[in-house]
Structure 1
Amino acid sequence: MIDLYYWPTPNGHKVTLFLEETGLAYAIRPVNIGKGDQFKPDFLKIAPNNRMPAIVDREPAGGGEPLALFESGAILLYLAEKTGRFLPPDLRGRAETLQWLFWQMGGLGPMLGQNHHFTQYAPEKVPYAIDRYLNETNRLYGVLDRRLADRAFVAGPDYTIADMAAYPWIVPWEKQGQDLDAHPNLKRWFEAIAKRPATKAAYARAAEVNPDHGKPMSDDAKKVMFGQTASSTRR
């Protein structure tokens, strides 16, 4: 059994995508980041960076004590190795997958996250920041579109954890000020993943966990989300 500490964000969706694809037994432990659940001592023992998602594998390979893990990319890699799925076993396939997984973790996610912040949540409009991250988002969309010009999925012919990592960050493309029609290869890939039964099941969990998912963030939630300092983890 996997305990999944989750809230419906792009990083949270990555893990439900994997779990729904594989059928691994899991239980969602909601972490309401708008109310500050990520700063509670019990959660910090699992995720010291006070970010979700995180997991606790109650039945790790080889037995022993439950294994706790944070960081969505590390979780995807761990689960892929645990199940032997969605990570090619050969050297070149594995290397292709991991480099694109790390590309998402180091580039696509952080840059699009800044896009979200300055276009949707910042208390004042900062034109330079908005233009900076809209343009970088567009550049990264272009990188993906070129990559997908001659292959079905990001790492090659098969669906992998690299796709699961990137897809949730493309879902809010309209809010990111992007046009999927301008990136036909990316659009084809995006629509193919959206049609997968496991994708539909994963996104259905969002409404179950947070019925307000998709609604504007309250001012109180913004204070919790965007007012974090070192003292936030000392509660």
Structure 2
Amino acid sequence: MLSMRSIILLFPFLFLLACSKEDVVMGPTGSPAPPSAEPDTTISFLALGDSYTIGTSVAADERWPNQLSRQLLAREKIAVEPLEIVARNGWRTDNLANALAAADPGENFDLVSLLIGVNDQFQGFSVDGYQQRFRALLESAIGYAGGDTSRVFVVSIPDYAYTPFGGGKESISREIDAFNAAAESVATSYGVPFYNITPITRRGLQQPDLVASDNLHPSGKQYGLWVEEVLLARVAGLIRKNG
């Protein structure tokens, strides 16, 4: 079984390209806590996904799971220890499933997130097939949360049409919408919240600083907006609800 405590540096290729082992992150990745923060709650957090979860083309502390963890501590007095990420640049649903089968993260996480599907869309896989594979991954995510659906959340797929790479193509947006609808349907059927960050990603052409230097992935600033506008209050509510 592979160690979940190892971290391999990322090599910032586009998620659309073939990936090397240098793109994977599996292990604790939490950012240092603000010195003045005094947590009243500590949780473990497992983030599952692809390039959008490992933050291709941004620094490690700019990834959305890392930013969320910092803000939970600074503003909600919730410490994340550990934060573990199982994600890789270019992964489809089947790639993530295979990685989880090879290195089972465990079953005792207080919080588990799932964001996956853009590479299924880009590589021409059907929505129906994606939905089936996504369902299996969500079931795995629930298992990592000890079978408790209230500890799991899904994040929507960003719309890369609104980047210089995507060029504003409406066909991309339509397909992203279809894949997101499939993921939301599965999440709803399990009672798992679906957090829609896609509208933020559609500001990318009008606000170039929301796109990373590779002209494709979100910038750290954009990930910060995911946290500020969509994730922080909702995730903090999930955590508090579970005591």
TM (norm. structure 1) is 0.30
In proportion to residue count, which structure has more helix?
A: 1
- TM-score computed with the length of structure 2 as normaliser: 0.29
Q: Which structure would you say has the larger RCO, counting Cα contacts within 8 Å and 6 or more residues apart?
A: 1
Bigger-Rg structure (1/2) = 1
Q: Which has the higher strand share?
A: 2
